[in-house]
């Protein structure tokens, strides 16, 4: 699947998501967006990038983090949003190894 991002560049596979109004592309050559789920390493990478870019937007509350992920990204599947919010919550609570 080849898509055009908002800058007119071609991106083969990956996530194109909005973070605070900025368009960010995270490419994952192993993901076929329509047919495969996002693996744990990708959830961790996206979570870490969100925390790094917007540290004050997240807390140790899953519900608040879930809303922040929904507001800051254009990831449309609730399952993926919840996985990202869950990892951010565990990281903020100090319960993760990564």
Tell me the two tokens of residue 69. Answer: 């992920």
pLDDT top residue among 75 and 58? 58
Helical axes 78-92 vs 62-72, angle rounded to 10°: 130
Q: Which stretches within the chain are classed as H helix?
A: 40-53, 62-72, 78-92
Superfamily of chain region 3-92: Ribosomal protein S17 (1.10.60.20)
Per-residue pLDDT tens over the stretch 26-63:
544 444 444 467 899 999 999 999 999 999 999 999 99
- ∠ CA 36-41-44, nearest 5°, is 115
Per-domain residue ranges of the chain? 3-92
pTM: 0.66
Q: Which DSSP symbol is given to 20?
A: T
Q: Which of 81, 53, 61 is nearest to 69 (CA)?
A: 81
């Amino acid at each position: 699947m080849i898509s055009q991002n908002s800058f007119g560049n071609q991106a083969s596979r990956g996530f194109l998501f909005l973070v605070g109004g900025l368009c960010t592309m995270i490419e994952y050559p192993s993901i076929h967006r329509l047919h495969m789920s996002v693996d744990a390493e990708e959830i961790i990478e996206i979570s870490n990038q969100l925390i790094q870019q917007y540290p004050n937007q997240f807390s140790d509350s899953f519900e608040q983090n879930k809303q922040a992920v929904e507001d800051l990204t254009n990831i449309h599947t609730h399952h993926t949003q919840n996985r990202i919010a869950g990892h951010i919550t565990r990281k903020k609570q100090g319960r993760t190894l990564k």
